[in-house]
């Protein structure tokens, strides 16, 4: 479920406008997070991952000072009785509910603040002179771990296909600033 709303107003010579959009209850499959978290065994060798992997499923144990593969199903069950995440280093791509995140957000898309100069300053050559500034993509409130909860493309396919709800390293929307001047001549 999602939507948008706008707020605007005037106070003396000042005016403002704000446009919001929101989404609640959508889930995002954060494949980028899954890939960065798990990776493969080679990509994790040089990272200090002791804390994040403490609860991961294990297929090796230290026995008599030696790293030993565990192949007996009962021994694997005992070794992994308290595991909270899947195998830390996957050899092949895998799908996991670990990567599903809440994609709810509230975004301030545009905020504009303007000021109309008093006629005493603009002299007689102008009807109106207004100075304004706008910020686009001002802020987003979300608990989502990715860069942008409004994901819609899969960069592995060149961004050609819409893939709502799948984040595989989609670039976030840019924040931009605009300053302007409106002049009405007589």
Residues 181, 131 share a domain: yes
Residue 13 covered by a domain: yes
Dihedral of the alpha carbons of 155, 158, 162, 167, in degrees to the nearest 10: 0
Region 18-23 average pLDDT: 94
How would you class 157 by CB atoms within 10 Å of its CB: exposed for 0-12, middle for 13-18, buried for 19 or more? Answer: exposed
Q: At 103, is the pLDDT very low, low, confident or very high (cuts 50, 70, 90)?
A: very high
The whole-number pLDDT of residue 133 equals 97
Residues 108, 168 share a domain: yes
Residue 109 covered by a domain: yes
The mean pLDDT value of the chain amounts to 82
SS3 for 75?
Answer: helix
Parent domain of 67 = 49-89
The pTM for the full model equals 0.68
**26-36 pLDDT, tens digit each:** 899 888 777 77
Higher pLDDT: 82 or 32? It is 82
Rounded alpha-carbon distances, angstroms, from residue 49 to 36, 93, 143: 12, 20, 23
């Amino acid at each position: 479920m999602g939507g948008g709303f706008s707020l605007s107003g005037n106070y003396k010579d000042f005016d403002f406008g704000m446009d919001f959009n929101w989404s609640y209850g959508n889930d995002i499959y954060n494949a980028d997070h899954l890939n960065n978290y798990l990776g493969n065994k080679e990509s994790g060798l040089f990272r200090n991952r002791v804390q994040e992997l403490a609860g991961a499923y294990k297929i090796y144990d230290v026995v008599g000072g030696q790293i030993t593969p565990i192949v007996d199903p009962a021994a694997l069950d005992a070794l992994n009785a308290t595991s909270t995440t899947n195998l830390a280093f996957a050899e092949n791509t895998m799908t996991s509910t670990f990567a599903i995140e809440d994609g709810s957000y509230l975004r301030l898309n545009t905020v504009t603040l303007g000021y109309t100069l008093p006629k005493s300053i603009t002299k007689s050559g102008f009807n109106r002179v207004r100075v304004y500034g706008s910020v686009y993509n001002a802020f987003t409130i979300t608990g989502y771990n990715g860069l942008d909860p409004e994901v819609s493309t899969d960069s592995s396919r060149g961004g050609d296909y819409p893939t709502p709800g799948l984040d595989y390293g989609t670039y976030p929307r840019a924040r931009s600033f605009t300053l302007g001047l409106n002049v009405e001549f007589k």
